[in-house]
Amino acid sequence: LGSPPLTIVRAYDLQAFERLLREGVHLSGRATGLMSSVARAAFLEFTDLEIADLHVFLRARAHSAAPDE
């Protein structure tokens, strides 16, 4: 399985990113298949602060990433 480009995180505000990690729900409102399962099984332990920090980190990385990464 391939992962989505890192730059996709630019589209997610913190609230949408939190929903993606906690519920596996895409910006469109649909469940994301594998991500839904992973989110519910593996990411429930993340605190709100950890998710916020991860969001900031990934957005910073996406900002410096090439458009197709």
The span from the CA of 54 to the CA of 34, in Å, is 20
Per-residue pLDDT for the chain (69 aa), expressed as one digit of tens each?
A: 567 777 788 899 999 999 998 888 888 888 877 888 888 888 888 999 999 999 999 999 887 765 554
Instruction: Enter the DSSP assignment of 45.
Output: T
Whole-prediction pTM value? 0.79
Is the Cβ–Cβ distance between 44 and 22 less than 8 Å?
Answer: yes
Is the Cβ–Cβ distance between 21 and 52 less than 8 Å?
Answer: no
